Structures are given as structure tokens and as C-alpha cells.
Amino acid sequence: MNPIIARLLAGAATTAAAVVAKRAVEFGWERATGNAPPRADDVEGDRELRDLIIWAAVLTASVTLARKLAESSVERFAEER
């Protein structure tokens, strides 16, 4: 496979994976807590700060994992072609 096409495909796949992961984590957060995900602007107390830290950690881990999996899948696909 052409290296330029492989890079474009990898970029598109990792972006899509990040968007899907973010939406999935937002949905899971809302189902688990009954509230929208916290925002830094809304933090007023320790409990809200704790929720923001947990939210940031879960979101970051999920998006990073999804992007890595998408990237490795595209690499395997490109090697087969």
C-alpha cells in the first residue's frame, strides 16, 4: 500500500476511534452517575474536583487505547496489502 494512503487512512481511523471512544465514555458516565460529564468551569467543591479528575483519567485512557488499537489495525491492514 502506498505510504501516503496508509498515513491518511491511519489518521482517519485514529480520529474516528477517538470520537467514538469519547462519545461512549460520555454515555457511560451519564448512565453511571445520572449527570453530564464534569467540566473544569463547573468545579466548585472537592467532590466535583474528584469527579473531574476521574473523568479526565477515564476519558484519556479510553481515547488513547482506542487510537492505539485503530492505529495498529491500520498498520496490519497496510502490511497485508
Q: What is the pLDDT of residues 10-28, one digit of tens each?
A: 999 999 999 999 999 999 9
Span 14-43, average pLDDT: 95
Q: Are 26 and 37 in contact (CB under 8 A)?
A: yes
Cα 47 to Cα 78: distance, rounded to the nearest angstrom = 46
Q: In a 10 Å sphere around its CB, with 0-12 CB exposed, 13-18 middle and 19+ buried, how is residue 43 labelled?
A: middle
Q: What is the pTM for the complete model shown?
A: 0.85
Q: Which segments of the chain are extended strands (E)?
A: none
